[in-house]
Structure 1
Amino acid sequence: MKIALVGCGAVTQAVYVPLLSRRRDLFEVTAVCDLSPTLTDAVGDRLGAAGRYSSVAEMISAGGFEALLVLASGSHGETVRRALAAGYAVLCEKPLALTRAEVAALPEGRLMVGYMKQYDPAVRRAEEVLAALGGPEVIRAVEVTVLHPSGESQLAFANLEQARDVDAGLLGSLRDAESALVSRALGESAPEAVRNLYGVSLGSICHDLSLLRRFTGAPADISYVETWGDAPGSIEISGALPVRGRFSIRWHYLEDYPAYRETVAIHHDRGSLELVFPSPYLMNAPTTLTVVSGAESRTEWREVTEAFEVQLAAFHAFVNEGKPPLTDVGGGLEDIVTAQRIAARYAVQHGLPIGGEAA
C-alpha cells in the first residue's frame, strides 16, 4: 500500500521510520511532508520517498498514494479533514483534534486514530482475562500511575535529526492558531493552569483514557482533579467508571527520573491485573502483564511484539480488508470530551474561568 507521511519529527524518526523500513511487505512510502526541509529530506532519504513537500495541501493535491499517516504534533483536525475530503484513508496519531468542532467538520471516510497501547499484545491479553472474569461488571477500581521523564532523556539514544530551518514567523503563526483552538475548547479567559492541564490530558494522559475505553468504557464522571508542582508538574484525576467502580490517574512529570514507567492496575473482587509499560520510544521493549488471583497466585506474561507495528498492520487491514480499528472518530471524540471535562472540573474546583466547549 502506497502511503504518505505528514510530520517528520521525533516519533516519526524514532518509531515509524524503522518500522516502515522493515515492513516494506505492507507499505511503500512515496511522499513525506514537514515544515522543515532538513527533516523532510532526512526521512525521505531513509524511506526512499521521492515526493517531498512542505505543504500538506500541495502533497494531497499531487497524490500518488492511497493513505496518509498524520504524525505531526498539535491538532490534526484540518489535515485529517483535507485528506478525508480528497478520498484518502488516514491513520492519525492522537489526539485527533483539540476541539469538538474540528471533529464535527470531518467528512465521512476511512479514519483510524492511533493509540498504540490499545494494540499492545499484553493489553489484548488483559482484555481476554478480564472478559473471562466477567468484564467491566467485576471491576472495583482502575489505578494508573505514570512517571514521565523529559522527552529529551527518553530520546537521547535515537540521534534524531533536528529542525533548525523553519521560519520563526511561520512557527509563531502556528502557535497562535493552536492557542485559538484551545480558546475555542476552554474559552478565551481560561488561565494557563487550565490550558496546561488540557494539553497534558490530550497529549499524554489520553493514552490511559484510551485504555479505560477498552477495559470499561469512557469515564462516566470526573469528580476530582488536582495539580501541583511547576508545569507540567503532577496531575491527579479521579471519577466514576461507566459500569461499576472508580478510576484514578496520577501523572507525574519528573525531569530527571531514570526511565519512563506507566502502570495500569485493574482490581476486581478476586484479584488484580497489572500492566507495566516501558518508554514508548523503545522498540520491542516488553510490556509486562501480571495476573494476581486465588491464594496469592501470580502469573507474569511478557510480550516484546512492538505495539506500533501491530497498529500499522491493523491500519493496513482496515484499509484493504475493512477490519474496523480499535479507535475511530467516535473514540477520538470521546477522549476530547473527557479532556474537556477534566479541565472544567479543575476550573470549577479552583474558582477559575472556563468557557468554550468545556463549559
Structure 2
Amino acid sequence: MDNVRIGIVGCGAIAQVHHAPNLKELWHLYDLNSVCDVSARAAAHVAARFDVPAHFTDYAAFLASDIEAVVFCQTDPKTDYVLQALDAGKHVFVEKPVCFNLDEISAMVSAQERAGVVGQAGYMKVYDPAFEVVAAEAADMDVRFVQIHHLHPTNDLHLAQFDVQRFDDVPAAVIQETVAARRAALVHALGTAPPDGVARAFFLLSGSMIHDLYGLRHIMGVPTRIHNVDIWQEGRAVTFQVEYANGARCNGTWIDLPDLWDFKETLEVCADDKRVTLKYPTGFSRGQLSEVTVQEIDANGTMVARTPAIDWASAFIREMQAFHGCIREGRECRTPLSEVHHDVGLIINLIKSHLGNG
C-alpha cells in the first residue's frame, strides 16, 4: 500500500485520544511524520508518545517537513492554517468545526480547487456503521418527523478515562489572538456582536451539535424553513424546529448538563409505520458502539422491534481510511469541504432567527 505521509496540527485531547493513535494503528495507510502545536511541550509529548519523528511549534517549518497531508484538530479558528496548507499543495482533513462563516469556507474550497487536492471535513458520524444502517433504513421511509436530542456533560468527565496530558506553556499572546479571532469570525458570520449567551450557543452549535446537523443533512437534505429557535440558560441550551422539502419537520435539542455522567445523543427518524432510533456514545470514547433500534409493523400486523448488529469498526478509523482512499485512489469524498457551507449557513440562520433578523 502507498502510505500517505501525514502530519497533525493540534496536540490536545482529540489528537491524543483519537487521531494520533488511529494514524499509528493505520500503519499500512499512513506514515505519521510530524506534529505541530503552539505548546512546545504538547508537541514534544505527542511526538514521543506516538513515536513521531518530528515536532514543531513553527507552522511554516511543519509545512515544509516530509508531509503531503495534514489533520487539523487545534483550537479554532483553523481557517488561516488550512489556507496555508492548501496553498502549499497539501491534502487537508479539517476537524469540526471547520470554520464559523461562509466567507471562510468559500476561501477554503477555492484554495482546494486551485491546489487540486483532497479536502475532507471531520464529520466522523457519517462513517459510523450505525449511522449507515439508519441512513439505509430512512431511504425507504416516507419520513414525517425527525428528532435529535443531545444531553451533553462536560467532556472532562469522559476524558478522565484517558491519559490526556495538558500543558501550560502556550504564550499568553497566542491565547489572546485566538480569542480575538474567534470573536471576529462570529461577528463576521452574524454581522453584529451578539449577547454573550447567544455567542455561547453559536459556538456549541458549531462545535458539538454540528454532528447532529450534518447527519440530518445526509438523511433529510437541507432544511427549507426554520420555524422557531429558542436559546436559554444563558446559551447553555438550544431548541429549534426546521422543515424539509417533503414537509417533514425536525425538533432539535442541545442541553448542557455539565455534571451528569450519562452522555445522551439520539436521532429518531419516524414515518407513519416505522421508527428508527440511533443512540451515539460520547465522541471521547474508544470501543463503544452506537446502537440502532427499528420499530415497525410486520406483514402480520404485529409491532416488532429489531436491533441490527453493528460493525465494530471505529468511525474515526473509517474516516481516515476514506481520506486515504480519496488521496491515493481518487475516491469521491463523502464529507467534502465543498458541502460544509450548508451546515455553517444553517447555524448562522438559526442564530439569526433567534435574534429576529433571520
- Asked if the contact 2:201/2:237 (under 8 Å) is kept, the reply is no
TM-superposed deviation, 1:302: 4.1
1:332 has 2:340 as partner: yes
State the match for 2:233 in structure 1: 229
TM-superposed deviation, 1:117: 0.6
Tell me, in whole angstroms, the C-alpha distance in 2 between the residues paired with 1:182 and 1:189: 7
Which one-letter code corresponds to 2:211 in the other structure?
Answer: H
Of the candidates 302, 308, 311, which is equivalent to residue 301 of structure 1?
308
Q: State percent identity of aligned pairs.
A: 26
TM-superposed deviation, 1:187: 2.5
Tell me, in whole angstroms, the C-alpha distance in 1 between the residues paired with 2:198 and 2:152: 20
State the match for 2:66 in structure 1: 64
Q: How large is the Cα RMSD of the aligned pairs?
A: 1.4
Counterpart secondary structure, 2:15? helix
- Asked if the contact 1:287/1:302 (under 8 Å) is kept, the reply is no
- Asked if the contact 1:286/1:302 (under 8 Å) is kept, the reply is no
Tell me, in whole angstroms, the C-alpha distance in 1 between the residues paired with 2:23 and 2:52: 12
State the match for 2:135 in structure 1: 127
Counterpart secondary structure, 1:164? coil
Structure 1: gaps spanning 5 or more residues: 349-353
TM-score of the aligned structures, taking structure 2 as reference length: 0.92
Tell me, in whole angstroms, the C-alpha distance in 1 between the residues paired with 2:204 and 2:107: 24
TM-superposed deviation, 1:159: 2.2
Tell me, in whole angstroms, the C-alpha distance in 2 between the residues paired with 1:286 and 1:200: 24
- Asked if the contact 1:226/1:235 (under 8 Å) is kept, the reply is yes
Of the candidates 205, 212, 216, which is equivalent to residue 216 of structure 2?
212
- Asked if the contact 1:264/1:274 (under 8 Å) is kept, the reply is yes
- Asked if the contact 1:2/1:30 (under 8 Å) is kept, the reply is yes
Shifted more, 299-308 versus 89-98: the winner is 299-308
1:252-303 deviation digits (Å, cap 9, x = unpaired): 1101112211110000121101000011111120111111111221011242
State the match for 1:345 in structure 2: 353
Counterpart secondary structure, 1:158? coil
- Asked if the contact 1:145/1:249 (under 8 Å) is kept, the reply is yes
1:21-41 deviation digits (Å, cap 9, x = unpaired): 221111111110001111101
State the match for 1:292 in structure 2: 295
1:278 has 2:285 as partner: no
State the match for 1:101 in structure 2: 103
State the match for 2:25 in structure 1: 22
- Asked if the contact 1:30/1:50 (under 8 Å) is kept, the reply is yes
1:211-236 deviation digits (Å, cap 9, x = unpaired): 111101122222211122244x2210
Of the candidates 13, 33, 43, which is equivalent to residue 10 of structure 1?
13
Structure 2: gaps spanning 5 or more residues: none
TM-superposed deviation, 1:182: 1.0
- Asked if the contact 1:145/1:250 (under 8 Å) is kept, the reply is yes
Counterpart secondary structure, 2:346? helix
- Asked if the contact 2:125/2:215 (under 8 Å) is kept, the reply is yes
1:129-160 deviation digits (Å, cap 9, x = unpaired): 222x25xxx11011011110001112111121
- Asked if the contact 2:16/2:46 (under 8 Å) is kept, the reply is yes
- Asked if the contact 1:259/1:279 (under 8 Å) is kept, the reply is no
State the match for 1:249 in structure 2: 252
| Counterparts in 2 of 1:189 and 1:179: CA distance versus 1, 3 Å | closer
Counterpart secondary structure, 2:145? strand
TM-superposed deviation, 1:102: 1.2
Which one-letter code corresponds to 2:137 in the other structure?
Answer: V
TM-superposed deviation, 1:190: 2.0
Tell me, in whole angstroms, the C-alpha distance in 2 between the residues paired with 1:40 and 1:180: 27
Which one-letter code corresponds to 1:11 in the other structure?
Answer: I
| Counterparts in 2 of 1:327 and 1:336: CA distance versus 1, 3 Å | same
- Asked if the contact 1:84/1:110 (under 8 Å) is kept, the reply is no
1:291-349 deviation digits (Å, cap 9, x = unpaired): 1111221011242321101111011111111111222123211111000001101101x
Tell me, in whole angstroms, the C-alpha distance in 2 between the residues paired with 1:262 and 1:209: 12
